């Protein structure tokens, strides 16, 4: 039985989509410090509201079939409904199921996902056997479908776990799917070390093509971090980019490039300056950036920041590196949904007859995730087109896409 996955790019008309979720209701309420419990409850519930509204827009305005991740906290085969219980047992808090884009991707008509059992951040076949973790109505409707491939299974033909462990010993299997761009026949994979074992995908795709009859052309580059935080393909011939990205004459020759600078640097710079001023020794000792996240109005809530630093560092990303105007979702070739107010994006895309609809993710600076991160397209219209036939059958090694003296931040 097949579910009916299909997606070769990020712009054909969207028909089905998976949308993320947050922690269970009331998850943070029992924490002993009200300065923490109240703020984190607000962040969690307002994010839920924003995602619910986004789903309503997709369904009512664009006729998209929406599937939702469960609002659950599941780790090591156990489900938690209380932050206090979780912290006491595990000593940290994982990300909720809010960014399905991180953990799965569709190539052609196959959905690929898979991670080690330590942390469930996406639905997979192994969950079906864990009846103590999920209600029946929370299982992915495609968990037993033939067009769904769980790469963490021990599949002799498409075994990738062992190869990943050879690249990153002891790290388990976690693939950085947002570091892969799909443009019809062309797949572009970021090989930067930040993205873990993506390099194993280059030879693996040869086996994938042969097994399923595809002819994907594999190109490589070096960007670092999640590519969808700095690059969005709007439609054939048009893309949005972080303003420091370069060499599009090589990667997307002839395409119009709209370069958008990050708008939130004033927020994160002021926040980072404050944390440096108070000598944030813990983060400095861990060699972590001192401003991975930002919550408006809570800059001097030291109890909150200590809680996040100690327990939630797996949950927050690195908002200083993400261009949220770029991290948008295309529902068709003429419409994108932005993660927050984006006047420059509206004006620039308007020149190309593309409409921008805003679904404000109020806490995107905390989760370091816009609407592209919060979704995974399951079905789009359109087939596999070759937009660069001059490349023949061989992929290209594009190398570094930042200016010689530029850093991602």
CATH code of the domain covering residue 44: 3.75.10.10
Q: Is the pLDDT of residue 359 over 90?
A: yes
Q: How confident is the model at residue 287 (pLDDT cuts 50, 70, 90)?
A: very low
pLDDT of residue 226: 85
pLDDT of residue 120: 46
Average pLDDT of 182-192?
Answer: 93
- Residue 53 domain-assigned (yes or no): yes
The DSSP code for 371 is T
Number of structural domains (the chain) is 1
- Residue 4 domain-assigned (yes or no): no
- Between helices 302-311 and 34-62, what is the axis angle to 10°? 70
User: How far apart are the C-alpha atoms of 229 and 309, rounded to whole Å?
Assistant: 23
Q: Is the pLDDT of residue 318 over 90?
A: no
- The pTM of the full predicted model, rounded to 2 decimals, is 0.89
Instruction: Give the percent of the chain with pLDDT over 70.
Output: 77
From first CA to last CA, the distance across the chain in angstroms is: 45
Cβ(94)–Cβ(155) below 8 Å: no
Which residues, in sequence order, are bridge partners of residue 17? Answer: 66, 377
Min mean pLDDT across 62-71, 241-250, 263-272 is at 263-272
- Residue 409 domain-assigned (yes or no): no
- Residue 7 domain-assigned (yes or no): no
pLDDT of residue 405: 43
User: How far apart are the C-alpha atoms of 383 and 112, rounded to whole Å?
Assistant: 18
Instruction: Provide the token pair at 275.
Output: 């944390």
CA angle 318, 335, 19 (to 5 degrees): 50
The DSSP code for 154 is -
- Residue 6 domain-assigned (yes or no): no
Residues 6-62 pLDDT 10s: 999 999 999 999 999 999 999 999 999 999 999 999 999 999 999 999 999 999 999
- Residue 1 domain-assigned (yes or no): no
Q: Tokens 């048009």 correspond to what residue?
A: 238
Residues 127-150 pLDDT 10s: 555 445 666 677 677 777 888 887
User: How far apart are the C-alpha atoms of 324 and 121, rounded to whole Å?
Assistant: 22
- Residue 408 domain-assigned (yes or no): no
Backbone phi and psi for residue 370, each to the nearest 5 degrees, phi listed first: -95, -165
Q: Is the pLDDT of residue 293 over 70?
A: yes
Give residue 380's domain range.
14-400
Which residues, in sequence order, are bridge partners of residue 380? Answer: 14
- Residue 407 domain-assigned (yes or no): no
User: How far apart are the C-alpha atoms of 381 and 20, rounded to whole Å?
Assistant: 22
Average pLDDT of 338-344?
Answer: 92
H-assigned helices in 95-191:
161-167
């Amino acid at each position: 039985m097949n579910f009916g996955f299909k997606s070769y790019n990020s712009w054909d008309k969207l028909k089905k989509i998976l949308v993320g979720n947050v922690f269970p209701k009331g998850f943070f309420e029992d924490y002993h410090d009200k300065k923490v419990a109240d703020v984190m409850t607000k962040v969690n519930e307002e994010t839920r509201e924003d995602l619910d509204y986004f789903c309503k827009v997709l369904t009512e305005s664009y006729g998209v079939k929406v599937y939702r991740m469960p609002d659950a906290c599941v780790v090591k085969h156990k489900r938690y409904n209380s932050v206090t219980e979780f912290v006491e047992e595990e000593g940290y808090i994982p990300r909720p199921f809010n960014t399905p884009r991180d953990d799965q991707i569709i190539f052609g008509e196959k959905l690929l996902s898979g991670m080690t059992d330590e942390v469930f951040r996406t639905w997979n076949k192994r969950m079906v056997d864990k009846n103590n973790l999920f209600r029946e109505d929370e299982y992915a409707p495609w968990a037993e479908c033939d067009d769904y491939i769980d790469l963490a299974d021990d599949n002799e033909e498409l075994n990738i776990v062992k190869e990943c462990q050879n690249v990153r010993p002891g790290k388990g299997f976690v693939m950085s799917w947002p570091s892969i761009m799909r443009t019809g026949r062309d797949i572009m994979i970021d090989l930067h070390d930040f993205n873990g074992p993506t390099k194993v995908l280059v030879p693996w795709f040869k086996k994938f093509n042969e097994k399923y009859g595809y002819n994907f052309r594999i190109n490589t580059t070096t960007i670092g971090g999640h590519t969808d935080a700095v690059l969005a393909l709007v439609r054939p011939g048009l893309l949005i980019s972080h303003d420091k990205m370069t060499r599009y004459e090589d990667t997307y020759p002839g395409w119009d490039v709209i370069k958008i600078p990050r708008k939130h640097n004033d927020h994160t710079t002021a926040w980072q300056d404050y944390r440096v001023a108070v000598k944030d020794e813990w983060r400095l000792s861990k060699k972590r950036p001192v401003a991975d996240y930002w919550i408006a109005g809570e800059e001097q809530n030291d109890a909150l920041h200590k809680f996040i630093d100690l327990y939630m560092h797996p949950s927050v990303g690195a908002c200083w590196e993400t261009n949220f105007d770029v991290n948008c979702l295309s529902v068709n070739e003429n419409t994108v949904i932005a993660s927050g107010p984006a006047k420059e994006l509206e004006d620039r895309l308007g020149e190309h007859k593309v409409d921008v609809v805003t679904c404000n993710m109020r806490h995107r600076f905390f989760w370091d995730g816009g609407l592209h991160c919060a979704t995974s397209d399951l079905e789009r219209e359109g087939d596999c087109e070759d937009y660069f036939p001059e490349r023949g059958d061989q992929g290209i090694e594009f190398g570094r896409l930042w200016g010689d003296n530029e850093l991602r931040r």
